[in-house]
Structure 1
């Protein structure tokens, strides 16, 4: 469930926490609570079905712990399944990319504008098949600005079911996932044949893969986020 506190209060709390240095980010549902909303059915058209027009965007979660750079949960406690300080900064910056000033107006990132997501998925981080919290943490500040629930119905390993749900969901769709499992999502969507799709996700956290299906044909573009210092 999305917290009722506004983005300004969340930003203040985050700034105070990072100065500690810990992170207190406004993520819907909080640690230990399920922020999912089963707003999209788990069934949908087969990926091979030309289906209706849609736009599906995929991002990798924000930066993860490694090489002495720890992760922090929403309470500022060190947690290897959570985002690092930079990962939280990316999470807080995502609304500038998809919803600048909270308006949901499109923004240009060196190519065609990115649309405002109407449906948001992140990998499950609660329950028997739960993975890391990073996917949910990455998109929750954006979801709160857009007033769109984060659907965490699908765990890693259920990419085919996720793809079917995304194809049936209200578009544009945004998926935040573990990078090594993104190619199976693309394949399950039936979009792997679109021109220019890499076989693997690059070793980067600052990209948006945009897949657009029109009249049964998929097109692909990779959009740099350009949100943080050091983004390519």
Structure 2
């Protein structure tokens, strides 16, 4: 039996406001977060665990993006890992027994998503690197088989 999750969904937070000082989602981002609350469980099944980059003075957007989903499926959000600590998160997800054979959702900041995927063992070229700063509607579906991983890019239909 594998010690890795069955599936890790990696996504960027939803849309941000024009004001660079505003740490919250824009109106469009809030609408996307609400859509994701239904879309993710219908498309992939409900995640067993939800992670969001820790809230900082600069951004609460990853948390705000997954909050409607967490509320809908009754799961807590782990927002204890800082954005730049993606390596520790990857190591934990790949080795901690509670994540073995589970579905995990990770919502992060776009600048560190490629590095997070590298740390998860994903091959360069299977995911956007760098992540385009205008893209908010892409989910990366990471599956593990033996010692390798596969990444499927899934575009949200909204």
TM-score (norm 2): 0.86
2:29 is the counterpart of 1:98: no
Aligned-residue offset at 1:192: 2.9
2:91 is the counterpart of 1:139: no
Aligned to 1:56: 8
Q: Which of 135, 146, 154 matches 2:81?
A: 154
Gaps of 5+ in 2: none
Q: Deviations over 1:78-109 (max 9, x none)?
A: x700000000001111122123xxxxxx42xx
Residues of 2 paired with 1:131 and 1:125: CA distance? 8
Residue 174 of structure 1 aligns to a residue whose secondary structure is strand
TM-score (norm 1): 0.60
Larger Rg: 1
Gaps of 5+ in 1: 1-49, 72-78, 100-105, 108-113, 228-232
Would you say the 8 A contact 1:52–1:216 is kept in 2?
A: no
Question: RMSD in angstroms over aligned alpha carbons?
Answer: 2.0
Aligned to 2:151: 220
For CA contacts below 8 A with separation 6 or more, give which structure has more relative contact order.
Answer: 2
Residues of 1 paired with 2:31 and 2:63: CA distance? 14
Structure number with higher strand proportion? 2
Structure number with higher helix proportion? 2
Change (3 A) 1:131 1:121: farther
Residue 92 of structure 1 aligns to a residue whose secondary structure is helix
- Length, aligned pairs only: 152
Aligned-residue offset at 1:165: 2.1
